[in-house]
Structure 1
Amino acid sequence: MRMNKLALAMMLLAGASGVSTAMAAEPAAADPAVNTVIQPEAAASAVSQPDQQPASSEAPAVTETREPSQQPDDSVATTSSNPASVEQPSVATAPEASAAPASQEAATSAPVQAQPESNQPSPAANPPAEAAPVAEKSEPQPAVTDRDATQKTAQTPADEALFTPEQEARIGELAKDYLLKHPELLIEVDQKLQKIQYDEQMKAMTTAAIQHQDELLNDKTVPAIGPEDAKVAVIGFFDYQCSVCARQAPIIQSLMKNNSQVRFIFKEWPIFGYRWKPSFQAAETGLRIWQQKGGDAYMKYHNALFASGHVEGALTQKDVTKAASAAGAGKLKSSDMLGTLSRTDILAKNTGFQGTPAMIVMPLSGATAETVTVFPGGAMEEMLQAAINKALGSAGN
């Protein structure tokens, strides 16, 4: 009878211990640290019972702490009621073995993001269902850099129209209406365009004059008045039928008087010869006088023809003969001047001149764009003198 009571007490004790262990297992599943604390206490309570044998009857209760989260509550009571069903080593002799599985169970029941090295409590075992989508939304997105924006802009078609056809038509109407109300703008635009074209033309002719300076300065078949060692030359292209050239002749005479150190070169260019034959006759006579009678006779002939006032088709062969006689060159040898006139024509066109008069002021050596001045037409005496001074100052340095 005593044995039966003792066995009954042990069974009751084992059942109570199993229930307490199951109750402790529920929070332990959520917190491995709590589970680890409970196991030694359970082992100590099992050892502290005087009437219990150090058998494995208490071991199932401690070992089964890994299973409550996987089995229904009634499986705990059934297992704990049969202490002899499984033989396990004593909790007192192997506490570490029982703690390791418990820790493994806690790691299994904890969320994936839990870190076992941390001493902080693990997060909830069962997070809300919407947590995953929120986590996905909170993932950092790649930042848009300036380089990405530049590449995106570069991919835009370059020929994409800025305005629709309707917008372009409307813009055209507005511009037309504005110009009709302000026609003076057209004059301003035209003047600006002419200045741009003129500047480009002057630059091109200056460059051409530098390129052809040897032909401009050193042709011995054309009249050249002034010292041989002159530093600056004034080169003039003219036709005796040209009215502007006739008005320019007195200006040249004044410049020659005031600039004895400058060399003046006269390029006979009879551009009206195709229309009026005396232009050719006057040019050929002038070249013959230069070659046969020299510079003084040539200048008398040259000034006498322009002084007659017979220009724009009014010049005659009689005027040519009279001027030659006044220069002391009544009898001249017949010589062909066509080669010289042809070279002058080509040179004028290569320089960019399109008519007479045309003049160039430049140093006889070392000409540059800063020291050369081109006049594609008539020029006042002050303008020509300024060009001479500029070339002289540069040549003097």
Structure 2
Amino acid sequence: MKKTLLTIALSASAGHAFAGDNVTFTLEQEAQIGEIAAQYLVEHPEFLIKASQKLQEKQLQEQANAQKAAVIANQNALLNDKATPYTGPKDAKVNVIEFFDYQCIYCYRISSTIESLQKQYPNVRFIFKETPIFGSRWEPSKYAAQIGIETFAQKGSKGYEQYHNGVYASGLNEGKLTKEVVESQAKKAGVDLSKFKPTENYQHNLQLFSQLGFKGTPALVVMPTQGANTNNTYVINGADVASLTNAIKTLSK
């Protein structure tokens, strides 16, 4: 009897159907099943570990699907904001969108890879969403974002690329970046700072960043310009070079 109840208990806990689904148990039998299953799990904790791993995998997949759905719903804001800096062809078929903060050390660490990928894939458009998430901690975070958008407005993609890479090349992040360094890089890119009027022109990026479910930078999206769906849209949380490279390679075929 105990062996039969154990089989039933394990089958039920594993989500397995078994013959006699319409069979009923007495309260005493139900209590026995519960006790046997609980004791078995205590003696074999590997089942709990596997269950926990499956639950975590399911939750991560659900989160990924939700982010992809949000990205597709907001693709116009991601791809067609005229004030957002970009490099590469305006009519590219593949896009890489990066939400970043110049004060973020992980953004710094992936910056050289992105610079290399720009050269490796000249037909891909790289869109840079200035997202100063550390602005409340370090004022130059916001200032660098403002100047970045101003640089693009004045000097276009070429000037922005020079400014963007120049700020990263300084190696200053996590509170070390200064307004003086930011202005120096902007001037090297040909920006007339006398025309600059400080505004919080990055706020819509912060809002979009939040809407897409991102928690930190860098946050990246790789997607086609036309026909984006959950199968050809990639959302990358963090400086995951392998995933970024693979996504670009896959969509560029």
**Which range, TM-score by smaller chain?**
0.7 to 0.9
Give the Cα separation in 1 of the matches to 2:144 and 2:75.
26
Q: Determine what percentage of the aligned residue pairs are the same residue.
A: 40
Distance verdict in 2 for CA 1:167–1:371, change over 3 Å? closer
Task: State the distance in 2 between where 1:210 and 1:258 align.
Answer: 26
Counterpart for residue 113 of structure 2: 251
Matches within 5 A, 1:281-360: 281-329=143-191, 331-338=193-200, 340-360=201-221
1:176 to 30, 42, 56: 42
Q: Unpaired runs of 5+ in structure 1?
A: 1-149
Higher relative contact order (CA 8 A, sep 6+): 2
* Bigger proportion of residues as strand: 2
Q: C-alpha offsets along residues 101-153 of structure 1, whole Å, 9 cap, x if unaligned?
A: xxxxxxxxxxxxxxxxxxxxxxxxxxxxxxxxxxxxxxxxxxxxxxxxx9xx5
Alignment partner for residue 384 of structure 1, among 238, 244, 250? Answer: 244
| AA at the equivalent of 2:226 | S
Equivalent pair of 1:287/1:337 in contact (CA under 8 Å): no
Q: Which residue of the partner structure matches residue 13 of structure 2? A: none
C-alpha change, 1:170 and 1:274, in structure 2 (3 Å) is same
Report what 2:97 is aligned to.
235
TM-score if structure 2 supplies the norm length? 0.82
Q: Report the Cα offset of residue 336 of structure 1.
A: 4.2
Residues of 1 paired with 2:144 and 2:172: CA distance? Answer: 12
Partners of 1:321 and 1:330 within 8 A in 2: no
Paired residue type of 1:321? E
Whether 2:72 is the aligned partner of 1:218: answer no
- The letter for the 2-side match of 1:175 is L
Q: Does the CA-based 8 Å contact 2:155-2:189 persist in structure 1?
A: no
Contact 2:41 2:48 in 1 (8 A): no
Q: CA deviation at 1:392?
A: 3.4
**Partner residue in 2 for 1:5:** none
Q: What TM-score do you get using the length of structure 1 for normalisation?
A: 0.54
Structure of larger gyration radius: 1
What is the CA–CA distance in structure 1 between the aligned matches of 2:243 and 2:82, rounded to whole Å?
A: 28
| Counterpart residue type for residue 343 of structure 1 | H
**What are the Cα deviations for residues 39-80 of structure 1, in whole angstroms up to 9, with x where unaligned?**
xxxxxxxxxxxxxxxxxxxxxxxxxxxxxxxxxxxxxxxxxx
| Aligned-pair CA distance for 1:244 | 0.7
* Alignment correspondent of 1:206: 68
Offset, 1:175: 2.7
The equivalent residue for 2:30 is 163
SS of 1:205's equivalent in the other structure is helix
- Which residue of the other structure, out of 362, 369, 373, is the alignment partner of 2:230? 369
- The answer on 1:269 being equivalent to 2:131 is yes
Residue 163 of structure 1 aligns to a residue whose secondary structure is helix
Measure, in 2, the Cα distance between the counterparts of 1:326 and 1:163: 77
Q: Secondary structure at the match of 1:349?
A: helix
In the alignment, the residues of structure 1 paired with residue 63 and residue 220 of structure 2 have an alpha-carbon distance, to the nearest angstrom, of 14
Match runs of 1:49-64 below 5 Å: none
Match of 2:15 in 1: none
